[in-house]
A and B are shown apart, each in its own frame.
Chain A
Amino acid sequence: MGELKLMKGNEAIAEAAIRAGVDAYFGYPITPQSEVIEYLSSQKPEERTGMVLLQAESEVASINMVYGAAGSGKKVMTTSSSPGISLMQEGLSYIAGAELPCVVANVVRGGPGLGTIQPSQADYFQATKGGGHGDYKLIVLAPASVQEMADFIPLAFDLAFKYRNPALILSDGMIGQMMEKVELFDQVPRRTEEEIKKTCPWATTGKPKTRERNIITSLYLDPGTQEQHNYKLQKKYRKMEEDEIRYEKIECDDAEYLFVAYGSSARIAQKAIQLGRKKGMKIGLLRPITLYPFPVPQIREMIPRLKGILSVEMSAGQMIEDVRLAVGDKIPAEHFGRLGGIIHSPTEILEALEQKIIGG
């Protein structure tokens, strides 16, 4: 058993980054995730593993420092919260276009605009539909506990390097700020320069006479070539949809009604299930762990046994679109969620199920 600690979600991200053998973290403070860079700063990662830590002048700079280091084969990451993630969209589009692996965590707060520093899940569209310009996708993981905040760092890097694609960890102020028990995995050594050159033959590590020069770019001026590049990206996304869907089912065996909820909302929905089952309601939860790729087949497979679905998200209704794409008009599927940084309570979720689905 690994080391047990009581940690904030933000701290767990930071500690996991050091332990996962990350080469560099570039970031800019923003509430509610500043503990990530503060914790890293307190840990002297340069001494612990040789990991580079730099507070950049902006989120625009952070994500482009990530681009540079990722293009050179390094394991590199940044974190931010909603307004900062908006600033990173340009960089993320370039990184996706240039097919570079990296990890970004968004500890979501309420918007739009400066919004609020309270938790929200209203960045779902931005996270799962690309976010910046052009046809691309990020691999999106949604942790629902502090343990998963830690565990998803190495998982996100594995997926990012497997597909040469940026991976996004989509959490929120609640998961970032809460403390829970975490079992920390053991230190993974950082890769040596030789290992990087071997495992990332595409990276700009300096051109030896023995190979052609490596170029990291997302520019293909010839539309035909650009189209082929886009097809290549799309093929990669289809492969992710086949192989990388992750989800958790809770109390689904006898369920007549289903909550679909991720992250914080999934936790609150579990409490609502406990309350509902006390009243004799047969409710289950499907918790998407990957938001992209979204567990479409898993939801479809459950439809014949269900009377209705409530998609629960702290937003005006974003994930519901993906749920409805999966369900069609076969059974009722509705959205419930509080907005602007207000966290819905288990009772509110249960009432919404009763009003919108059972009574509806």
Chain B
Amino acid sequence: MRDEMLKDIISEENLVYKKTDLMTDNVLSYCPGCGHGTAHRIIMEVVDEMGLQEETIGIAPVGCSVLAYEFMNIDMQQAAHGRAPALATGIKKTWPEKFVFTYQGDGDLAAIGTAETLHACNRGENILIVFINNGIYGMTGGQMAPTTLSGMKTSTTPFGRDTALMGNPLKITELVAELPGTQFVTRQAVHTPAAVRKAKKAIKKSIELQRSGNSGTTFVEIVSNCNSGWKLPPVQANKWMVENMFPFYPLGDIKVNGELVK
């Protein structure tokens, strides 16, 4: 009975949404409510819609998305912690016609990989960097990230991030926007359907820029939640993100056509 119902639901005339073939059938390893799955999907949708599967090489980081290659149905490499932009440089420099992107979290991109990030952006490598910022180390169990907010509790800042000791949350996206090598830098989110549509547009614009010529790095930050690390149910995690993360990490374009947005 149940099976027949399911069959009916997924029959062609009843379909309102179909997963892109560029997402594999592997079950996502992310926690329920996490933004990673959506972020993966919109990148793969754009690659699919633009017919770029054969032209695309992706780099997975170390962090929760270390297994991104299990979910994205494209050729991918898995990098050492923080080194994804160096791998991407090596690939793009030797396969200049390909579309190359990295997918990195905040610890990977803005702590251990800061040098690789800044220098790839400063050289203006013709790659897309997708930066998932949830202000915490998810995979290792909720430790402080470079982007952890001031006063925010994590397993290594159980009494809140003391900026006098641990430094201030790093706005690396604003930092890379200052570099002449970046052409398009934007901050997005995937917590509502509207935000997902905007984030997908930003990804699409980035990839179109990458395909239309060699004019520098495109950089898309996605502010996301980590309900496990934040110890909040998904809905409340999103609410907390809107109230606390967005004021410090405001959404919107930061650099367009190589010019900082005023």
Contact = CB atoms under 8 A, between A and B. Distances in A.
Do A and B interact?
Answer: yes
Interface of A: 23-24, 26, 52, 54, 56-58, 60-62, 64-72, 74, 76, 90-91, 94, 98, 193, 204-209, 213-219, 221
Contact of A215 (B69, B93, B94, B98): B69
> Taking each of A60, A66, A209, which has the highest tally of chain B beta carbons within 10 Å of its own beta carbon?
A60
Contacts of B119: 56-57, 61
B25 to A, nearest CB: 13
Contact of A214 (B75, B79, B86): B75
Contact of B94 (A62, A76, A90): A76
B207 interface: no
Nearest to A203: B75
A54 B93 contact: yes
B88 A68 contact: yes
Nearest to A75: B94
Given A207-B73, A215-B76, A71 B116 contact: no
A66 B90 contact: yes
Q: Which of A24, A52, A71 lies at the interface centre, i.e. has the most chain B CB atoms within 10 A of its CB?
A: A71
Contact of A206 (B56, B59, B83, B94): B56
A93 to B, nearest CB: 8
Given A74-B94, A206-B75, A65 B56 contact: no
Interface in B191-240: none
Interface in B62-101: 66-67, 69, 73-80, 83, 86-91, 93-95, 98
**5 interchain residue pairs of minimum CB distance:** A68-B90, A68-B87, A64-B86, A65-B90, A204-B75
B46 to A, nearest CB: 16
A217 B86 contact: no
Among A24, A61, A76, A208, the most chain B Cβ lie within 10 Å of the Cβ of A61
Contacts of A66: 90
A69 B80 contact: no
Contacts of A90: 80
B69 A71 contact: no
Point out which of A62, A206, A214 has the most chain B C-beta atoms below 10 A from its C-beta. A206
Contacts of A209: 53-54
Contact of A213 (B74, B98, B115): B74
Contacts of A71: 77, 87, 91
Contact of A68 (B59, B69, B115): B59
B57 interface: yes
B55 interface: yes
A72 B83 contact: no
A64 B91 contact: no
A219 B94 contact: no
A24 to B, nearest CB: 5
B98 A56 contact: no
A214 B83 CA distance: 20
Contacts of A52: 93-94
16 contacts: A60-B86, A62-B86, A65-B93, A66-B90, A67-B83, A68-B86, A68-B90, A69-B94, A71-B91, A74-B95, A206-B55, A215-B69, A215-B75, A215-B78, A218-B78, A219-B78
Contacts, number: 135
A24, A67, A204: residue with the most chain B Cβ atoms closer than 10 Å: A204
A126 B155 CA distance: 36
A98 B59 CA distance: 14
A204 B94 contact: no
Given A206-B55, A213-B74, A215-B75, 20 more contacts: A24-B93, A54-B89, A56-B89, A56-B119, A57-B119, A60-B86, A61-B119, A64-B79, A64-B90, A67-B83, A67-B86, A68-B87, A71-B77, A72-B94, A98-B77, A204-B76, A207-B53, A213-B73, A215-B69, A216-B78
Interface string B91-117: 101110010000000000000000110
Contacts of B55: 206
Nearest to A210: B54
B98 A206 contact: yes
Contact of B115 (A26, A61, A74, A98): A61
A23 B91 CA distance: 11
B78 A217 contact: yes
A57 B78 contact: no
B177 to A, nearest CB: 19
A54 to B, nearest CB: 6
A24 B53 contact: no
A221 B60 CA distance: 15
B89 A65 contact: yes
B69 A217 contact: yes
Nearest to B122: A57
Given A206-B55, A207-B75, A61 B116 contact: yes
Interface in B161-182: none
B91 A68 contact: yes
Nearest to A90: B80
Contacts of B95: 72, 74, 193, 205-206
Nearest to A221: B67
Nearest to A206: B54
Contacts of B83: 60-61, 64, 67, 91
Nearest to A70: B90
Contacts of B54: 206-209
Given A61-B119, A206-B54, A207-B54, A68 B75 contact: no
Contacts of A213: 69, 73-76
A208 B93 CA distance: 21
B87 A65 contact: yes
Contacts of B77: 67-68, 71-72, 98, 204, 215-217
Most chain B beta-carbon contacts within 10 A, residue among A64, A69, A213, A218: A64
